[in-house]
Amino acid sequence: MNQVRTDRFNAFLDCDGPTIVPIPGGPLSQTTLAVKDIFDVAGYKTGCGNPQKLAEASPATRTAPTVQILLDAGAQFIGKTQTDELTFSLNGENAHYPRPINPAAPERITGGSSSGSVAAVAGGLADMAAGSDTGGSIRAPASYCGLIGLRTSQGAISLEGAMPLAASYDTFGWFARNMDLYEKIAALLLPPSTTAFRRVLRLSELDNLLAGPAEKAAFESAFQTVERVVGTARPATLTAMDIDQRYQCFRKTQAYEAWQYHGPWIAAAERNLGPGVGERFAYGSTIDDQSYHGEMEKRAELTDELHQLLADDGLIIMPTVPGAAPEAKAPFESVQAYREQALRLLCHSGLSGLPELSLPLSSVQGAPFGLSLLGPRGSDRALLALGNRILQASSANNANGTV
3-state helix, strand, coil in the chain (%, to 5): 40, 15, 45
Q: Calculate ∠ Cα 202-206-208, nearest 5°.
A: 110
Q: Which residue spans within 82-137 are E strands per DSSP?
A: 128-133
Task: Establish whether 113 is a catalytic residue.
Answer: yes
Annotation says 349 is catalytic = no
Check 45, 53, 80, 113 and give the catalytic one.
113
Is 317 strand, coil or helix? strand
Cα separation, 65 vs 369, in Å, equals 33
Phi (first) and psi of residue 174, to 5 degrees: -160, 160
CA atoms in the 13 A half-sphere facing the CB of 138: 29
Cα atoms in the 13 Å half-sphere on the side-chain side of 321:
37
Which residue blocks in 94-212 are alpha helix, DSSP H? Answer: 115-122, 139-145, 179-189, 204-207
- Burial (CB < 10 A; 0-12, 13-18, 19+), residue 365, is middle
DSSP 140-181: HHHHHHT--EEEPPTTSS--TTB--SSTTT-EEEEEESSHHH
Our answer to whether residue 184 is catalytic in this structure is no
Strands 171-176 and 149-151: unpaired
Task: Report how far Cα 333 is from the mean position of its chain's Cα atoms.
Answer: 22
- Ramachandran angles phi, psi of 299, nearest 5°: -60, -40
Q: Which entry of 137, 143, 352, 358 is annotated as an active-site residue?
A: 137
CA 39 from centroid of its chain's CA atoms: 15
Residues annotated catalytic, as ranges: 36, 113, 137
